[in-house]
Amino acid sequence: MSKSPTKAMRRKSVKPRTDSQRTKEAFLTDLRTRTRVAIDILSHHSSQRRLEHLLRLSQGYLSRLRARVSNQSAELVANLAMLCQDPPQRLAELEDFWALPAETWPPPAKPATRTARSPHRYYPRKPKGITP
């Protein structure tokens, strides 16, 4: 009487990972590492609970990210990285942002400067086709 294959035996027969799977795994590992470092840096300047409140995250989410239980988005990692550039100043700016009444956001647009205009006015595009 033969037994059905066990879970361990079935796992061994899984196809080898492709390059795209390895790339995705490396990307997720990089995000996790960056998240953990950013949370450690920001924890010196603010509690994780306060940080979760400022970033409008659920309570305990940063702890789950730091423990690598949950997966984070690249956008969240980018926001954490910006906060890490100058934590006291950036955290204060974020608090000020959330303290603003909704009617005052967005701030009035600044007038365009010469450098803010399209560079094509000063540096016209080359015609497509034949290139010298």
Per-residue pLDDT of the chain (132 residues; tens, 9 = 90+): 555 556 555 555 566 778 888 888 899 999 999 999 999 999 999 999 999 999 999 999 999 998 888 888 999 999 999 999 999 999 999 999 999 888 877 777 777 666 555 555 555 566 676 655
The CA-CA-CA angle for residues 49, 27, 14, to 5°, reads 115
Omega before residue 87 within 30° of 0, cis: no
Task: Compute the residue count for the chain.
Answer: 132
The token duo for 24 is 């995705």
First-to-last C-alpha distance (Å) of the chain: 79
